[in-house]
Amino acid sequence: MNEAYEKIKNRLLEYKKKNYIVPTEKMIKTKEQIEGIKAAGVINTAILDMVEENIKAGMSTEDINKLVHNFTISHGAIPAPLNYEGFPKSVCVSVNDSVCHGIPSKKLILKNGDIVNVDVTTIYKGYYADASRMYIIGEAKENAKKLVKVTKECLELAVNAIVPWETRLGDLGDIILTHARKNGYSVVREIGGHGVGLEMHEDPYVSHVGKKGTGMLIVPGMVFTIEPMVNEGSRLIYQDSRNGWTIYTYDGKLSAQWEHTIVVTEDGCEIITH
């Protein structure tokens, strides 16, 4: 029995009668499940810390893949991206105009001024945690640094806005879009955050473009990612037809992304992965 769901089931029914969209039982994690996801999150965060210590100009994105893979395995965990729906590597590394799902390559060498997103998902004892960070290689131009900074602010503003039983998923998208637009940027619409914990991708879908007062009600026990992808130019994107994975900005301008896994608590939320 899902005791966490049973505890709030009647309250959810009351909101449902008021025509709110409410989470299903599967979306409400038990105390045991949350502890397992948190343990995966500790390793996931340690991986991103390790990347921060090692990433530099002159290394290839495949070098990052090897670092992530070896660190993950040595800590008794599994890199979730490896062989996921055919993805060939243990981590996504997306550089400059690559929005997400960059496949590590020996041919792609990091250089001074690059902005790089490293997206790590870790499986530990059957539980999943997911996060990504931006890294600036050497000294980047001011426009690149500002994009990285504002994208992180979009994530932080959304996380800080979560009030259980009040905030809805549409509110998060509205906050992210408003802050990005205020700074002259656009937000990718086709890819969003997601539930996570027992699988790599679960419901609900978390759009980074939304309307205030709409979408699913956020309640204690939910675990999901918020991972805004903010573009310097147009929001339009395309998929690399050669590898079937990597997403790029249509206009070739920069893109940035930050991601946390969060668990909703009784009085707010807790960041599981940094």
Q: Model confidence over 169-223: pLDDT tens digits? A: 999 999 999 999 999 999 999 999 999 999 999 999 999 999 999 999 999 999 9
Read off the tokens for 188: 């990718």
Cβ count within 10 A of residue 214: 14
Provide φ and ψ at 34, rounded to 5°.
-65, -40
Q: Please tell me the distance from the alpha carbon of residue 112 to that of residue 58, in angstroms, as a whole number.
A: 9
Read off the tokens for 81: 């991206």
**Residue for token digits 């969060």?**
262
**pLDDT surpassing 80 at residue 1:** no
Eight-class DSSP state of 183: T
User: How does the average pLDDT of the chain come out, rounded?
Assistant: 97
Q: Please tell me the distance from the alpha carbon of residue 256 to that of residue 118, in angstroms, as a whole number.
A: 11
Report the predicted TM-score, pTM, of the whole model to 2 decimal places: 0.96
Please list, in sequence order, all residues whose beta carbon lies within 8 angstroms of the beta carbon of residue 262, skipping any fewer than 6 positions away.
159, 162, 223, 224, 225, 226, 269, 270, 271, 272
Read off the tokens for 21: 């969209």
**pLDDT surpassing 80 at residue 250:** yes
> With bands split at pLDDT 50, 70 and 90, how would you rate the model's confidence at 45?
very high
Q: Model confidence over 261-271: pLDDT tens digits? A: 999 999 999 99
Q: Model confidence over 200-215: pLDDT tens digits? A: 999 999 999 999 999 9
Q: Please tell me the distance from the alpha carbon of residue 228 to that of residue 244, in angstroms, as a whole number.
A: 21
What percentage of the chain has pLDDT greater than the value 70? Answer: 100
Please list, in sequence order, all residues whose beta carbon lies within 8 angstroms of the beta carbon of residue 84, skipping any fewer than 6 positions away.
200
> Which residue ranges make up each domain of the chain?
3-271
pLDDT confidence of residue 69 = 98
Mean pLDDT of 13-40: 97
Ramachandran category for residue 46: left, alpha or beta (phi over 0 → left; psi -120 to 50 → alpha)? alpha
**pLDDT surpassing 80 at residue 18:** yes
> With bands split at pLDDT 50, 70 and 90, how would you rate the model's confidence at 82?
very high
pLDDT confidence of residue 48 = 98
Q: Model confidence over 97-139: pLDDT tens digits? A: 999 999 999 999 999 999 999 999 999 999 999 999 999 999 9
> With bands split at pLDDT 50, 70 and 90, how would you rate the model's confidence at 274?
confident
CA distances from 151 to 31, 54, 122, 235, 254 (A): 31, 23, 23, 14, 12
pLDDT confidence of residue 144 = 98
DSSP alpha helices (H): ranges in 161-250?
Answer: 169-182
What CATH topology corresponds to 3-271? Creatine Amidinohydrolase (3.90.230)
The string of DSSP codes covering 54-70 is: H--TT-BHHHHHHHHHH
CA distances from 127 to 3, 92, 130, 191 (A): 19, 19, 10, 23
pLDDT confidence of residue 52 = 98
